[in-house]
Amino acid sequence: MTRILWVAAVMGLANPAPSHVVASLEYQVKAAMLYNFTKFVEWPVESPGAADRAVTFCILGPNPFGSALEELLEGKLVMGRPTRVHHAAELRELSRCHILFLAGSEERRTPEIVRMLRSASVLTVGDDERFLKLGTVMAFSVREGKVRFTVNTRAAEAIALRISSKLLKLAITVESGRPGAEM
C-alpha cells in the first residue's frame, strides 16, 4: 500500500495531499462512491445528529481526497438536505457523522471507534478491506484495478441502517463480521 501511495505521489497524483492538490483517480472515485452510497442508505429518523440539518461526511485520518469530496458535494442535496464535509480530529465528534470514512492509517483505532459508535447510526466506511474484520459497515477494496466495496449487513443491522438491495447487489456482500470471511 505504501508503495502504491508513493508511486501515486510520484506520478503527480499525490494523495495524502494538501487540499489544493488533485486527489488520485482512485480517491476521486472513492469520494464519488461515498456520495452515491448515501442514496442507497436509510438512516433511522432520530439519528445521527438529528439536530444537524446537514448530512455530514466525516473523514478520519489523513485526508486522501484533497478537495475532491467538497467539490463533488457542492450544490448537491442528500435526502433533500445540504451536505457538509467534516475533517474529524477527535473521536467524540464522530457520532454526529452520517457517513464516516476511515483512512488507512486509522486501522488501529477502528475497533475502538466501532465500539463507541454502537448506538449511533454512522455508516462507517474503511479505506480498504482490512477494515471489514474490524467491524466497519462498509469497506472499499480495489480489485482488478477497479474500486469495489463490501457491505457487512450484520453490522449495518446492528446500528439500524437500512441498506437498499440495489447497493447490496453491487457489493461484495459479507453477511457477518466473521474475520476474513470473503478474503
Partner 1 sequence: MRRRNSVDNPTPSVGRPALAGLVLFFTAAWQARGNGLGDRNLADASLEELMNIEVRSVGRKSQKLTSVASAVYLITREDLRRSGAASVPEALRMVPGLQVARIDASKWAISARGFNRRFANKMLVLVDGRTIYNNMYSGVYWDQNDVPLENIERIEVIRGPGATMWGANAVNGVINIITRSSSDTQGAMVSTGAGTEDRGSAFVQYGGAVNDRLHYRVFGKANNWNHLSSPGGVGSSGDDWRQRRGGGRMDWLVSQRDNLTIHGDGYTGSASQSSFANFPRQTSGPTLREQVAFDGSYLLTRWERSHSEDSTTALQVYANQENRREPLGDARLQTLDLDLEHRYHRSARHDVVFGGGFRRLKDRIRSVTRVFDPESRTDHLASGFLQDDVCVLPERLILTVGTKLLHNSYSGFEVQPSVRVLYAASPEEQFWSAVSRAVRTPSRRDQDLRIRFDLPPQATPLPVVGQFGGDPDFGSEKVIAYEAGYRNLFHRRVAVDLASFFNRYSSLESVGAGQLFLEPGPVPHMVLPIRVGNKNHGHTYGVDLTSTWSLNSRWRVYGNYSWLRVNISNTGNETPFLSQGGISSSPVAILFSEVTGSGRDPQHTVQVRTSIDVTPGFGVDAAVYRVSKLQGVNIPGYARADVHVNWRLRGGLMLSAGFRNMLDPSHREMLSEGSISGSEMRRGPYVKLTWTSRSAQDEEQSAPDRRPAGHE
Phi-psi domain of 65 (left: phi exceeds 0; alpha: psi -120 through 50; beta: other): alpha
Residues in contact with partner 1, total (CB under 8 A)?
44
Asked if residue 167 binds partner 1 (CB under 8 A), the reply is yes
Stretch that binds partner 1, among 8-16, 45-53, 98-106, 111-119 (CB under 8 A): 8-16
Compose the 17-36 pattern: x for residues touching partner 1 by CB under 8 A, - for all others: ----xx-xxx-xx-xxx-xx
Asked if residue 146 binds partner 1 (CB under 8 A), the reply is yes
Phi-psi domain of 94 (left: phi exceeds 0; alpha: psi -120 through 50; beta: other): alpha
The grid coordinates of residue 39 equal 442514496
> Using CB under 8 A, which residues numbered 37 to 66 contact partner 1?
39-40, 42
Give 91 or 170: the residue with its C-beta nearer to partner 1. 170
* Preceding omega of 48 cis (within 30 degrees of 0): yes
The grid coordinates of residue 120 equal 449511533
CA distance 116 to 118: 6
CB 104 within 8 A of CB 65: no
Residues in touch with partner 1 (CB under 8 A) = 1-4, 6-7, 9-14, 21-22, 24-26, 28-29, 31-33, 35-36, 39-40, 42, 71-73, 76, 142, 144-148, 164-167, 170, 182-183
